[in-house]
Amino acid sequence: MAKRKLNVAMIGYDFMGRAHANAWRQVGRFFQDAPFDPVLKVVVGRTEAKVKEAAARLGFEEHATSWQEVLGRKDIDVVDICTPGDSHAPIAIAAAEAGKAILCEKPLANTVADAERMTSAAKKAGVVNMVCHNYRRCPAVALAKQLIDDGQIGDIHHYRGLYLQDWIVDPKFPRVWRLEKARAGSGSLGDILSHTMDLSRHLVGEPVEVSGLLKTFIGERPLPEDPARRGKVDVDDSAQALVKFANGAVGYYEGTRFAPGRKNYNRFEINGSKGSLVWDLERMNELELYVESGPTSGFRTISVTDGKHPYLAAWWPPGHIIGYEHSFTHTVYDFSKAVAEGKSPRPDFEDGLKNQRVLDAIERSAATGQWVKVGAPIHPERTMDQSERRA
Ligand SMILES: NC(=O)c1ccc[n+]([C@@H]2O[C@H](COP(=O)([O-])OP(=O)(O)OC[C@H]3O[C@@H](n4cnc5c(N)ncnc54)[C@H](O)[C@@H]3O)[C@@H](O)[C@H]2O)c1
């Protein structure tokens, strides 16, 4: 029997736009029980010629240059937000008011206030909403979650999360939008450490207090549109934090784009009272498990490629590995099921808001040199910048 169509409007069509469009195209071809037949209805950009080309390349029926007009269309079911952080709040709030289901890229917003407005708009409208922290849906991470929930590594003591890249080490690298606070909200903090944080919330529990350290190594860079001129970098290049969790675990987050040789080293190590788990995106099909078992105990590597592992029955025979793009297909699969059920999947906007509060606490801690409780009211010292404080 033909499945019901699900008409998708995607805003933004570059890196994440390509990843999401691929996921929407693939989901029904591999997941037989996907509830809908997704239709790539319309892609939205700002420049007519570019978005027209993207629509043809990515397989969209139509293109448009006004997301406001697209959100007003009755035939759109899902709004998929793949733009920089400064446009997440206006698009998501308008999409909620128009009654659309919303898949929004991370971090949910650029500020706690925007994340709060987005979360309450989605709640008020009763629309299904999700933040695209796709790494939760790498099969090895989903298996780690199952093992932790089953008590296999006991009570968690430590979470060590690293997200290391190296693409801005060169001072000649241009001041792209990710290096502008007004567009991106923050630097490596929101861009990559938000994933580390989301994984810690998923696998360990709620962070309640942080001691943060932010550092900008290169304060000015050539402007992309005119390399002879230079523009200010007003976000962090590196973000670190010591973390206390509500359940008594303690941990450490580090996110940087200044780690030569590390391309997308998204890694965690979790130590519990009975064992440990280690995962690294660059070897995403493997999960390392240590469980104390006498003289032969040692870390062993599970090849998470079997049909009995999460999501993998839909793909290939054991040992036939999957890649980065599959994490988005799994995200879109769970999102579609949630739309069919009318219930938001995790991480939803509420999770995005909680994540945003942790980002904010790290920023405030870095500015004051003090431990900061997550969600604590804004302190007057917030208005003082780091250079004033040091003086
Ligand atoms: N889930 C992940 O692992 C992951 C990875 C990369 C980026 N992201 C997130 O995805 C989002 C987009 O990042 P990206 O890497 O795809 O960026 P990008 O620069 O590659 O693409 C951004 C797209 O948005 C469009 N755009 C920008 N401002 C717009 C506006 N006001 N209205 C309409 N279109 C607009 C641009 O034309 C472009 O098509 C960000 O929130 C980023 O943090 C998530």
Q: What is the mean pLDDT of residues 196-220?
A: 98
Answer yes or no: is pLDDT of 384 > 70: no
Q: Give residue-wise pLDDT tens across range 144-160.
A: 999 999 999 999 999 99
Question: Is 45 close to ligand 1, i.e. is its CB under 6 Å away?
Answer: yes
The band of 378, judged by pLDDT with boundaries at 50, 70 and 90, is low
Answer yes or no: is pLDDT of 213 > 90: yes
The HSE-up count of residue 298 (CA atoms within 13 Å, CB side) is 4
Question: Is 15 close to ligand 1, i.e. is its CB under 6 Å away?
Answer: yes
Q: What is the mean pLDDT of residues 210-218?
A: 98
The ligand 1 atom at the shortest distance from the C-alpha of residue 86 is 31
Instruction: Please state, for a pLDDT cut of 90, what percent of the chain lies above it.
Output: 94
What single-letter DSSP state applies at residue 110?
S
Question: What does the pLDDT read at residue 332?
Answer: 98
Which of 57, 83, 138, 196 is the best mutation target for the ligand 1 pocket, counting ligand atoms within 8 Å of the beta carbon and taking the most? 83
- For the record, the structure tokens of 167 come out as 């693409």
Question: What does the pLDDT read at residue 377?
Answer: 78
Which of 13, 14, 263 is the best mutation target for the ligand 1 pocket, counting ligand atoms within 8 Å of the beta carbon and taking the most? 14
- For the record, the structure tokens of 309 come out as 């592992």
Dihedrals phi, psi of 106, to nearest 5 degrees? -90, 165
Question: What does the pLDDT read at residue 383?
Answer: 41
Q: Alpha-carbon distance 185 to 178, whole Å?
A: 8
One-letter identity of residue 70: V
Cα of 121 from ligand 1 centre, angstroms? 22
Question: What does the pLDDT read at residue 385?
Answer: 42
Q: Give residue-wise pLDDT tens across range 38-86.
A: 999 999 999 999 999 999 999 999 999 999 999 999 999 999 999 999 9
In the block, tokens 């998501």 appear at 92
Q: Give residue-wise pLDDT tens across range 226-278.
A: 999 999 999 999 999 999 999 999 999 999 999 999 999 999 999 999 999 99
Sequence-separated (6 or more) residues with CB below 8 Å from residue 283:
none
Mean pLDDT of the chain: 96
The ligand 1 atom at the shortest distance from the C-alpha of residue 191 is 43
Question: Is 189 close to ligand 1, i.e. is its CB under 6 Å away?
Answer: no
CA 214 to chain centre: 20
Answer yes or no: is pLDDT of 298 > 60: yes
Question: What does the pLDDT read at residue 252?
Answer: 98
249 three-state secondary structure: coil
Question: What does the pLDDT read at residue 382?
Answer: 43
What is the residue with the minimal CA distance to atom 5 of ligand 1? 16
In the block, tokens 């206030």 appear at 113
What single-letter DSSP state applies at residue 190?
I
Question: Is 186 close to ligand 1, i.e. is its CB under 6 Å away?
Answer: no
- For the record, the structure tokens of 154 come out as 């006991």
Q: Give residue-wise pLDDT tens across range 83-96.
A: 999 999 999 999 99
Question: Is 276 close to ligand 1, i.e. is its CB under 6 Å away?
Answer: no
| CB of 65 closer than 8 Å to CB of 46 | yes
Q: Alpha-carbon distance 356 to 326, whole Å?
A: 26
Question: What does the pLDDT read at residue 1?
Answer: 77
Answer yes or no: is pLDDT of 387 > 90: no
